[in-house]
Chains A and B, each alone.
Chain A
Amino acid sequence: MAQLSEEDPVSQITQTVVQNLEDQHDWTSVETHHGAGQRPLIKGLPPRRLYIHPDDQIAALEHEHSTGVLLHQEPEFEWVLAVHPAEKWTLSRIASVFDSVEHAGERAKRIVLGTVHNDSTVVYYLLHEGLVKPRQN
């Protein structure tokens, strides 16, 4: 950790989240993207689909019920923003993060907020753009 302490806090928490994703949550192809003047974003592939919209979930269940084929199972790449609970963000900064997410076709609908506490606990929250109805947990 000695070598990390010389870096700035943002890259430290980003590094912590990368390690947590790889080691605890078995994400693969994890890489850090540094946009110009933006916060670094982590791109990675979770072992399972991280998020299914509740409407898609209902459709998938119906489809499975009638055909026996599972839908929406393949994992998608997710974008993770590492933050610290002591930080303060604004709507404009969140909007600029969404604008900075690289995309080939469709714009990213969500990012994952990875919050690192000083005791190295990491909690993950989905941050959807727009009003997205909650999943029935």
Chain B
Amino acid sequence: MTTVTARPPRPLPRISKIAGRYLVFDHEDASVLRREANTNGSLVGTLPQQPTQNMFLGLPIELRPEEAEALVHKNLARVVDDVAAHQAALLRSPESRTAYIQSLRRDKAAAHRVLAERAAQKAAVAAGKAGGRKKSKPKAEPAAASNAPLAPSDGDDTMFASAPPAVSSASSPRVADSPMDNFGVTLTSSRDLIPPDVDREFEVSDTPQGPLARYLQDGGYHTTPGLRFGSEYSVYPGDPLRFHAHFMANQYDWDEEIPILDIIEGGRLATAVKKAFVIAGSDPSKGEAPENVTAYSIEWAGM
């Protein structure tokens, strides 16, 4: 694992437990887990306008319970009961609500700034092209474009209200001038709503564990759902964007019966897709540590 010294320490990535599912909403947390804890999860988020979307999904990422548990066990993440934490944070004091609205304003102002810069850059490029052909009016356009996004004031309060604020009658021509006035920030995380102490109060510790998930996490392997190859996990030697899976893995109890035909089927299929079929479990008499997990890799013998 690489330690980055330049940045200030971040709190541990936060896994939200909602309705029995383990979700990561913060994109920075998701990238930390991916980069430093070899856990990629599955993107499960759709656009609000497209709830039936089933391709090109976005945040949040969902982790399987045993994956979340493996991270908590290695102190790489924490699981928080998200509903309880939100209720507690919202009911705590009026100041917390005010602070939250302030943080939303900050986010919105930051987004405005970025968009204004981008618009100014585009305008400058366009002006440069126009200027190449005809040098008569190079400056009028970029000036107008870069001024427009800066027009909305900080007092703009349309964050929650879908209706325009009190100045609605006066503002309608302004809306026509600049689309930025109706600009809304789509929140991807409510990180600023919940203070750290409340967050800690609702940490969850009873996540069900899986010895195989711990073993794979410990060994630096990435996993994705194994449905594609008929197993519980597809196991990758590195980031799934860079590598093909090496294994399709199933977890069994130490004394759980495994039909030989299942082993042959798994081995046959895995070999056909250049993988090995893995069956694994932990001997309860040896304890739950990852090094006590026994795994067997099965592949066709070629004869």
Interface residues in chain A, defined as those with a beta carbon under 8 Å from any beta carbon in chain B: 25, 46, 50-51, 83-92, 94-95, 112-113, 115, 123-137
Contact yes or no, A132 B258, CB < 8 A: no
Residue of B nearest to A54 (CB): B246
B262-303 near A? 1/0 per residue, CB < 8 Å = 011001001100111011110100000000001111111111
**CB of A81, distance to nearest CB on chain B (Å):** 10
Residues of A within 8 A of B267 (CB): 125
Q: Is the CB of B264 within 8 A of A90?
A: no
A91 pairs with B263, CB closer than 8 A: no
| Nearest-Cβ distance from residue B16 to partner chain A, whole angstroms | 31
Q: Which residues of chain A are within 8 angstroms of B278 by Cβ–Cβ distance? A: 131
With contacts A91-B294, A130-B297, A132-B297 known, is A137 near B274, CB below 8 A? yes
Q: How far is the CB of B127 from chain A (nearest CB, A)?
A: 56
Among residues of B, the one whose C-beta sits closest to the C-beta of A21 is B303
B256 touches A125 (CB 8 A): no
Are A137 and B302 neighbours in the complex by a CB distance under 8 Å?
Answer: yes
Answer whether A89 and B258 are a contact pair too, CB < 8 Å, given A131-B247, A137-B271.
Answer: yes
In the complex, given contacts A90-B256, A113-B298, what are 17 additional A-B residue pairs having Cβ atoms less than 8 angstroms apart?
A88-B258, A88-B259, A89-B263, A90-B258, A91-B280, A91-B281, A91-B283, A94-B296, A95-B294, A115-B260, A125-B264, A125-B301, A126-B299, A126-B300, A134-B299, A135-B299, A136-B274
For A135, give the chain B residue with the smallest CB separation: B299
C-alpha spacing A134/B249, complex, angstroms? 13
Give every chain B residue within 8 A of A133 (Cβ-Cβ). Answer: 237, 246-247, 276
Closest A residue by C-beta to B256: A90
Residues on B with C-beta less than 8 A from A83 are 260
Which residues from chain A contact B246 at a C-beta distance below 8 Å?
131, 133-134
CB–CB B298/A127 < 8 A = yes
Provide the bound-state CA to CA distance between A52 and B294, in Å.
Answer: 22
Q: State how many residues of chain B have any CB contact under 8 Å with chain A.
A: 39
Question: Would you mind naming 29 contact pairs between A and B with Cβ atoms under 8 Å apart?
Answer: A50-B303, A84-B260, A85-B259, A85-B261, A87-B260, A91-B256, A91-B283, A92-B255, A95-B283, A112-B301, A113-B260, A113-B263, A124-B300, A124-B303, A125-B298, A125-B299, A125-B300, A125-B301, A126-B298, A127-B296, A128-B296, A128-B298, A130-B295, A131-B247, A131-B278, A132-B297, A133-B237, A136-B274, A137-B274
**B261, B283, B301: which has the most chain A beta carbons within 10 Å?**
B301
- Which residues of chain B have C-beta atoms less than 8 A from A51's C-beta? 301
Considering the chains assembled together, what is the distance between the CA atoms of A112 and B264 in angstroms? 12
Instruction: Give the residues in chain A near B252, CB-CB below 8 Å.
Output: 90-91
Contact A131 B295 (CB under 8 A): yes
Residue of B nearest to A129 (CB): B296
**Chain A residue with minimal CB distance to B246?**
A133
